[in-house]
């Protein structure tokens, strides 16, 4: 347990950030699952839902929830799958 005032405050901040990160990560996973579901169904709407997914990925990266290369890798892989539908 934290003893000093600053350690107690750091604990409160960490809990708050943890909740924000969980919320951001949940939104990201939901967006990814939505697009993957469309890709699995071979729907042409998959390409239309990419901007929303990119937005979720970029926000998660911007807030520090995921790292830069993770965000780039996620975008690359999902774009590749959606592009394969077009051909």
Q: List pLDDT tens digits, range 42-61.
A: 888 889 999 999 999 999 99
Q: Burial code of 34-50, b = ≥16 C-beta within 10 A, e = fewer? A: ebeebbeeeeeebbebb
Both tokens of 35, joined, read 């697009």
44 vs 77, more confident? 77
24's CB contacts (< 8 A; 6+ apart) are 59, 60, 63, 65
> What is the model's pLDDT at position 1?
79
> What is the model's pLDDT at position 39?
92
Confidence of residue 85 (pLDDT cuts 50, 70, 90): confident
46 and 85 in contact (C-beta within 8 Å)?
yes
How many other C-beta atoms can be found within 10 angstroms of the C-beta atom of residue 70?
Answer: 13
Residue that is written with structure tokens 């990266």 in the block: 61
């Amino acid at each position: 347990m934290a003893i000093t005032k600053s350690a107690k405050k750091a604990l409160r901040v960490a809990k708050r950030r943890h909740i924000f990160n969980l919320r951001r990560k949940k939104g990201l996973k939901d967006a990814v699952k939505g697009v993957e579901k469309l890709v699995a169904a071979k729907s042409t709407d998959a390409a239309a839902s990419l901007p929303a997914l990119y937005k979720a990925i970029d926000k998660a990266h911007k807030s520090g929830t995921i790292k830069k290369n993770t965000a780039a890798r996620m975008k690359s892989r999902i774009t590749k799958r959606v592009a394969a539908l077009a051909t």
